[in-house]
Amino acid sequence: MNSSESKGCSCHGGASDEPCRARRPRVWLLIIGVGLIAGLWLFRAPLRDKIRFGAILANDAPDPGALVEMIEHAAEPYAAWVAAWNSGKMVHREVAISAIRQVAPDEQPLPSALESIVLAGALDPDLNVRETALGILGDRKHPALAALAAEQLQDPDPQVRLLGLSHLKPATPAVGVPIVATLLEDPDVAVVAMSLKLLERWTGQTFGAKLADAIPVENPKTDSHELQIEGLGRIRAAVVKAKAWWAEHQNGFPTVQLQVPAEAYAAQRPIPAPDFQLHTLEGKRVRLSDFRGKVVVVNFWTTWCTACVGEIPVHVALHQKHGNHVAILGVSLDAVPDSHGHIGGHASVEEQTSSAVEHESPKAAPDVLKRVREKVARTVRARNINYTVLLDEHNDVGAPYNGGELPTTAIVDAQGRLRRRFVGARPLEVFEAMIAEARQPSSLAFGTLKALE
């Protein structure tokens, strides 16, 4: 046998062993590689879903439908739900609290950690989360509902007090009457009107006021909404009757002590307000973090939103009175397409290029952005806006702040934590009360959110 034949013979010893031993690692590497490929193929769907869910969690403003779908179809929906909540991001938290029934249907008891989160959600800085959490507790007839509803009545925001009253309806007269009787002196007429109706519900009395009496009606002369004199008169007369009834029957209603569960406070976590960077109409770059040390009011608005424009005088007055320690940022979303795909609120104002429409581009063309900036600038001049107005041309800030429902306002404290988020206009005195609250130290430590087991 010649030398060329012996080099490739067998692996049974002799000089020919070296080439065979050199090939063995290659064979094992090939086997391992095939095994990895087979494993990836077999588990491709779970792996793909895990990667996708991780990307959604990392995104500050994911598509809410995609997040709900990932929670519903996760291998462990409960763990996925908690991960979304503990992300600390506004979109994720609102989606998670709304998707609670995908994790624990009404006919099933809430797991203890999940129950703690829902209880904490009833006291959340985000009013949307708070409203949903109270609804969940109400649907489940949770024993803590009355205490949490009564807790809302201490809030400086009348919309929160109205929310508390709406969830106090199932309470017994022994619980509800003493609580609501104290609201007959509330500064908000809508709160007084609802308190009167609840007292009628629990006592069987008729005091003579209607909820409609507290609804402002448009005045064509002033182009504003105003309460009607007749309605206010009926509410005042009803309050006199209700107070007289309460003075006569108060001794029959001993005060019931309601206690908010300790876990509602223990499960609360700080919500870091996402930092952002936008430009003013003059092109100056402004960051949220530039205002650390001050309370910041971030208001999302558009020139075509009637409620947004209507509350501008409140923000102007707020800046005049408190501009030394409060920063007001009016973030214009005029360049962001509305639900109909229109920019500026009207198709005629949109004037998008045909290519942008054909490709369904989510961003406006440069000439459209120029026209939007000009329109915002005209509104700033016409309304004498004295606070900082920023242009969010691509929804980079509006999306993570869930600012699509207008007007949306976020109040951020001096340490950069979200202290309030709500939709709708508020009077000056309510803003002042909420800002004073945000200036007080928070009981929550600012830092990384802790996972709940």
* 438: its two tokens: 């945000």
In this structure, is residue 315 part of a structural domain? Answer: yes
Show Cβ contacts of residue 371 under 8 Å, excluding neighbours closer than 6 positions.
Answer: 344, 349, 351
Examine the domain organization and report whether 244 and 134 are in the same domain.
no
Q: Residue 295 domain-assigned?
A: yes
Residue 205: inside a domain: yes
Report d(CA 391, CA 388) in Å as an integer: 10
pLDDT of residue 225: 74
Handedness of CA 397, 399, 404, 406 (dihedral sign): negative
pLDDT value for 267: 92
Helix (H) or strand (E) holding 299: strand 295-301
Which domain, by its residues, includes 197? 171-259
pLDDT value, residue 425? 95
249 and 341 together in one domain? no
176 and 322 share one domain: no
pLDDT digits (tens, 9 = 90+) for 252-288: 998 888 999 999 999 999 999 999 999 999 999 999 9
| 127 and 421 Cβ atoms separated by less than 8 Å | yes
The pLDDT value recorded for residue 280 is 97
Domain presence at residue 72: yes
Tokens 């800085």, located at residue:
125
pLDDT of amino acid 1: 47
Characterize the bridge pairing of strands 408-412 and 418-423: antiparallel
Buried b (16+ CB within 10 A) or exposed e, 400-413: bbbbbebbbbbbbb
Regions of the chain with pLDDT less than 70? 1-49, 222-223, 339-341, 344-364, 443-453
Q: Supply the pTM of this predicted model.
A: 0.84
Q: Determine the distance from the C-alpha atom of residue 203 to the mean position of all C-alpha atoms in its chain, rounded to a whole number.
A: 37
Specify the pLDDT at position 278.
98
What pLDDT does 173 receive? 96
Here the CATH number for the domain that contains residue 306 is 3.40.30.10
Copy the structure tokens of residue 273: 């307000």
Domain membership of residue 233 (yes or no) is: yes
What stretches of 188-228 adopt beta strand conformation (E)? Answer: 217-219, 224-226
Return the DSSP state at 363: S
Contact present, 271 and 90 (Cβ < 8 Å): yes
Whether 81 is covered by a domain: the verdict is yes
- Say which amino acid occupies 181: A
pLDDT of residue 26: 66
216 & 302 share domain: no
Same-domain pairing of 291 and 433? yes
Dihedral angle sign, alpha carbons of residues 88, 276, 434, 311: negative
Q: Is residue 120 part of a domain?
A: yes
User: Which structure tokens are listed for 277?
Assistant: 């960077």
Does residue 342 sit in the same domain as residue 223? no
Sheet holding 408-412, edge to edge: 285-287, 277-280, 388-391, 326-332, 295-301, 408-412, 418-423
Are 362 and 323 in the same domain?
yes
Q: What is the pLDDT of residue 139?
A: 94
For the chain, the domain total comes to 3
Distance CA 392, CA 332 (A): 6
CA distance to 62, 84, 272, per residue, from 449 (Å):
20, 12, 9
315 and 253 in one domain?
A: no
Do 297 and 431 belong together in one domain? yes
CA distance 292 to 413: 8
Query: Quick one: 367 and 249 in the same domain?
Result: no
Are 324 and 178 part of one and the same domain?
Answer: no
Last residue of a domain, one of 105, 127, 144: 144
Q: Is residue 27 included in any domain, yes or no?
A: no
Amino acid, single-letter form, for residue 351: E
Q: Are residues 208 and 235 in the same domain?
A: yes
Q: Specify the length of the chain in residues.
A: 453
Cα(67)–Cα(56) distance, integer angstroms: 7
Per-residue pLDDT at 442: 79
**Positive or negative, the Cα torsion across 318, 322, 324, 329?**
negative
